Chains A and B, each alone.
Chain A
Amino acid sequence: MLVKTFSVFSKNFIKYVPVRRLSSVPTFAKDYLQVKRGPYKTLDEQDVRFFRTLLEENSLIEDRCDLEKYNVDFLKHLRGCSPLVLRPRTVEQMSKILSYCNNNLLAVCPQGGNTGVCGGATPVFDEIIVSTEWLNSVIHLDETSGVLVCEAGCVLENLHNYLNDYDLMMPIDLGAKGSCQIGGNTSTNAGGIRLYRYGNLHGNILGLEAVKADGEIIDCMNTLKKDNTGFHLKHIFIGSEGCLGIVTKVAIQCHPKPKSIQLAFLGAQNFTKALKAFKTAKQELGEIISAVEVMDHETIKFMWEHTDTTSPIGDYPIYLIIETSGSNEEHDQDKLNKYFQKCMDKHFVLNGVVTSSPSKSEQIWGLRERVAENFYKDGYVFAYDISLPLENYYDIVTEMKEYLGEKSHRVFGFGHLGDGNLHIQISVQKFSTDIMNYIEQHLYKRVNELNGSISAEHGIGFLKKQYLPLVKSEANMNLMRSLKRVMDPNGILNPYKVV
């Protein structure tokens, strides 16, 4: 029997892969943006003893080597100096950990799958890392309503697989699914490729349970579709990036697994044409569209250089990925064919493939989803996650390319076109604060001028904190700060992040 590895077609030749990476050791987070340590207590032997009595033996990680994985972020850009990881198995343990930390002024960095890309899950100094990885049980599934109740540490892909047996699926899917956790997704209000159809987590999370900084457990575990009783507290935790509380459980609305999934990979002459193809898709494919992604040729070149994958249709300046999900394959294929014919006739699209085969779809999605995990092979990659009005969506890539000139060896863009969300990457030989400031001051200024967002889905975390006041009014900032003070008066939860 042919196993999964079949998709890893090996080429008949060994490809020369340029290695651009110069520094392999991530910068200390504290040096990255030059922040000062807050007035927190330093962990001592007595604290560790407390945690030892509270938790099971291997719930604590103190070994320097074992800590590495938790102290360094996914992109290997940042390193924290935490001396301790705690992995509670119950919400009661979580509550006691936070209450102890709050009383003793010990700073805490909540961590899920550690796939966040704005430094939110990396300690800046010596914050204790509180990981949800052992809060990982599925509690209940209502097959009729599709509501899944599970603990925060469940890995997204495991939930996908679990639901698969019930012909259901998660409302959220993203490239990091093999590692990211539903609690982390909730805390970042993660977007991903299904957002176009199913909306974001503010809509799909029906209820949650969270622990406040002082250890108090807030139970918002609703599993109803409708519930207008009082202020909607769950929304405070969704997207709060570990600054207001630690999410321990969620109830999430899942959806029936579509019977027919078609995936089209299309090549266009330029972004304007691709945009027309997208508009046509909305008219022609209507209710069956489930994802609309875009990538430029530089991204494909990047994938070819660093992995051995490439476009299945040859080279085009811009590629569109359109996924449809429906209940009748014949109907969907028929629609897609007509749509494609129309796009070809009008030259919106020059070529394309369409597949309903899961293995082929996996390969095509791989081209789009596996970009981020290869960033580290291209030198130092500054990765930005912006929202822009569609008419300006791709101009920013060209503009940044011109602005940077020789300073960067690659500027490339891909993203969730359907949601107006662009990931723009800038590769440089080596990290320096000068180049970072040079890039960010211009990029964020332009995004702001164009009425875009400087963080479409990844959040503010540590890396974008200084820019938040640029895009949010003083009144907004003040309300956020007051909220933080109410929820976490001692500021022990994820300090130096967001606000």
Chain B
Amino acid sequence: MARVLVGVKRVIDYAVKIRVKPDKSGVVTDGVKHSMNPFDEIAVEEAVRLKEQKIANEIIAVSCGPQQSQDVLRTALAMGADKAIHVEVAGAEYETLQPIHVSKILAKIAQNEKVDLVIVGKQAIDDDCNQTAQMTAGFLDWPQATYASKIEKKDDHIVVKREIDGGLETIKCKIPAVISADLRLNEPRYATLPNIMKAKKKPLTKITPKDLGVDVSPRIQIVKVEEPPVRQAGSIIPDVDTLVTKLKEKGHA
């Protein structure tokens, strides 16, 4: 049976309207509701399903970030993960933390914990990087199955359906492997109240990148963050003739 590592990131909830800080140094996060990155929720759900199918026997959830990252770890535990590791990265360091750092951390933990599968979301909805799975596989020198929309285990390998341009690709790879979860892989469950209560008793350990020997010093500098241009308001015109005239004026017809 497999040991599974899932990566979960704390991001601004997708139902919240994002506001850019007046000095354009980033987006406003204070007092803003955060949740687990939706693709990571799918990753956790898949791991829990593997456990329910007796393919996995232990699920370890990892989150890199400030103290509040423990909230999403608690959610992962309530969804069915067995233990959680919080890799604390806070303040300025967190602002420049990139997938390359996170991948090194995940790879290190994967080795320490002797896991067989790493499952992460295909991307985080805040930075949209879509790199963590790929780089983690690189650091571990394991095969990768990205954008998974279906995962099956057969003997000593997994068969993964991936969403690609215009269709589905089925691949087979050896375990250990790294998988990234796509939107249609599953529908994550809600953490039920009884499970939230139980999750409080599950182990959550806090470590630092230093403990793992990973250097998280910045490789980039954020120059500025801007809002997308505001769409101009439309105008209502009385009839089709006016529409045609207007289109002609603008050279569209």
Binding site for B on A (CB under 8 A): 1-2, 4, 6-7, 9-12, 57-58, 164, 259, 264-265, 312-313, 337, 340-341, 344, 351-362
Asked if B241 lies at the interface with its beta carbon under 8 angstroms from chain A, I say no
Docked CA distance A313–B238 (Å): 51
Q: How large is the interface on B (under 10, 10 to 19, 20 to 34, 35 or more residues)?
A: 20 to 34
Asked whether, in the complex, the Cβ of A313 is within 8 Å of the Cβ of B192, the reply is: yes
Chain A nearest CB from B214 CB (Å) reads 28
From A7, A353, A357, give the contact of B33 (CB < 8 A). Answer: A357
Binds A, one of B49-57, B58-66, B183-191, B216-224: B183-191
Asked whether, in the complex, the Cβ of B193 is within 8 Å of the Cβ of A58, the reply is: no
Q: Per-residue 0/1 for B103-143: is the Cβ within 8 Å of any A Cβ (1 yes, 0 no)?
A: 00000000000000000000001101000000000000000
Secondary structure at the A interface, as helix, strand, loop or mixed, is mixed
Asked if B15 lies at the interface with its beta carbon under 8 angstroms from chain A, I say yes
Asked whether, in the complex, the Cβ of A12 is within 8 Å of the Cβ of B184, the reply is: yes
Q: Per-residue 0/1 for B176-202: is the Cβ within 8 Å of any A Cβ (1 yes, 0 no)?
A: 000000011001011111101100000
Q: Which residue on B lies nearest to A359, using beta carbons?
A: B15
> A-B pairs with CB below 8 Å: how many?
69
Chain A nearest CB from B230 CB (Å) reads 14
Q: A4-B14, A357-B13 are in contact. Are A351 and B194 (CB under 8 A)?
A: yes
Asked whether, in the complex, the Cβ of A2 is within 8 Å of the Cβ of B14, the reply is: yes
Tell me which residues across on chain B come within 8 A of A259, comparing CB atoms: 31
Tell me the chain B residues, 132-162 only, with Cβ under 8 Å from chain A: none
Docked CA distance A57–B237 (Å): 10
Tell me which residues across on chain B come within 8 A of A359, comparing CB atoms: 13-15, 35, 38
Chain A nearest CB from B132 CB (Å) reads 16
Q: A351-B192, A352-B193 are in contact. List 10 more A-B contacts (CB 8 A).
A: A313-B192, A344-B193, A353-B193, A357-B13, A358-B13, A358-B16, A359-B13, A359-B14, A360-B190, A361-B15
Chain B nearest CB from A255 CB (Å) reads 18
Asked whether, in the complex, the Cβ of B193 is within 8 Å of the Cβ of A340, the reply is: yes
Tell me which residues across on chain A come within 8 A of B15, comparing CB atoms: 4, 7, 357-359, 361-362
Tell me which residues across on chain B come within 8 A of A2, comparing CB atoms: 14, 38, 125
Docked CA distance A11–B184 (Å): 8
Docked CA distance A10–B185 (Å): 11
Q: A10-B184, A358-B15 are in contact. Are A58 and B236 (CB under 8 A)?
A: yes
Q: Which residue on B lies nearest to A266, using beta carbons?
A: B193
Docked CA distance A2–B122 (Å): 12
Chain A nearest CB from B52 CB (Å) reads 14
Q: Per-residue 0/1 for B5-28: is the Cβ within 8 Å of any A Cβ (1 yes, 0 no)?
A: 000000001111100000000000
Asked whether, in the complex, the Cβ of A312 is within 8 Å of the Cβ of B14, the reply is: no
Tell me which residues across on chain A come within 8 A of B193, comparing CB atoms: 264, 337, 340, 344, 351-354
Chain A nearest CB from B117 CB (Å) reads 21
